[in-house]
Amino acid sequence: MEHTLRFLPGLDTPSDTNFTVQTFSPRRNVWRPVAACSELTAGQPCNLTRTFKDPFVRYRARVQAFNATQTSPWTVSGQFQPLSDTVLGPPAVSVSGCGNCLLLHIRGPTWGQLKDFYRELILHVQRTRDGVQFTLRVPYQEEHVIAYLQPGVEYCVSVSVISLYNTNTVPSPPYCAFTSPPPSRSSLYVVFSLLAAFCALGFLVIGLVIYGAQQSFE
């Protein structure tokens, strides 16, 4: 939702030429000058973010070249609707492991009104080791869990948004994280040793119980 007008001067444009910008809104039905863009130089952009405030209105812009001795005809742009023609960049994403899953935290757009138009997220998940990948389409929420993954394996997640009014989206770069690592060999030795000790203790208790029962019977 940041809108910038850029233009190229015509061939043989004198070096002392400046440019002025006006915008048109159907609601007002009149061309209005943009105060900050009344004397632009060649190649200087015009920021129209504050001018194109209503996301549903179809605006137009026009540019005119002038110097001390002459003025060009106006060059008029096509229609521009902020909501449908803007490019929806990716949300901010952080990824962390949670056992056999990944935990995603999504930070939405800074332009508050745009949150109401976000509907879903597309999560593209790829396993780093062998390139195996899959895609999930989920409701737009600030937190998601991607479950049923292999523990101790790195996965990369790329996120893009789906809007009710706009299909011009840019996916995020991949964010990578390991699911919780599998236990180390030393940990496995400790676990197996404890299991063996518990088994031996169990057999000892069972033997004592059987021996005690035989003695009581005799």
CA distances from 124 to 15, 101, 129, 135 (A): 50, 15, 16, 5
pLDDT at 12: 87
pTM of the model: 0.64
Q: How confident is the model at residue 166 (pLDDT cuts 50, 70, 90)?
A: confident
CATH assignment of the domain containing 77: 2.60.40.10
pLDDT at 10: 87
* pLDDT(201) > 90: no
Range of the domain at 165: 92-178
Over residues 113-138, mean pLDDT: 88
Co-location of 170 and 191 in the same domain: no
Whether residue 178 contacts residue 97, with contact meaning beta carbons closer than 8 Å, is answered with: yes
| Mean model confidence pLDDT for the chain | 85
Whether residue 102 contacts residue 94, with contact meaning beta carbons closer than 8 Å, is answered with: no
Co-location of 49 and 110 in the same domain: no
Co-location of 174 and 189 in the same domain: no
Q: What is the pLDDT of residues 56-83, one digit of tens each?
A: 999 999 999 999 999 999 999 999 999 8
pLDDT at 198: 65
* pLDDT(191) > 50: no
Please tell me the least confidently modeled range out of 29-33, 92-96, 145-149, 180-184. 180-184
Co-location of 60 and 122 in the same domain: no
In the numeric block, which tokens belong to residue 196? 């063996």
Number of domains in the chain: 3
Whether residue 158 contacts residue 81, with contact meaning beta carbons closer than 8 Å, is answered with: no
Over residues 157-178, mean pLDDT: 90
Last residue of a domain, one of 85, 110, 145: 85
Co-location of 78 and 17 in the same domain: yes
Last residue of a domain, one of 85, 114, 147: 85
Co-location of 18 and 80 in the same domain: yes
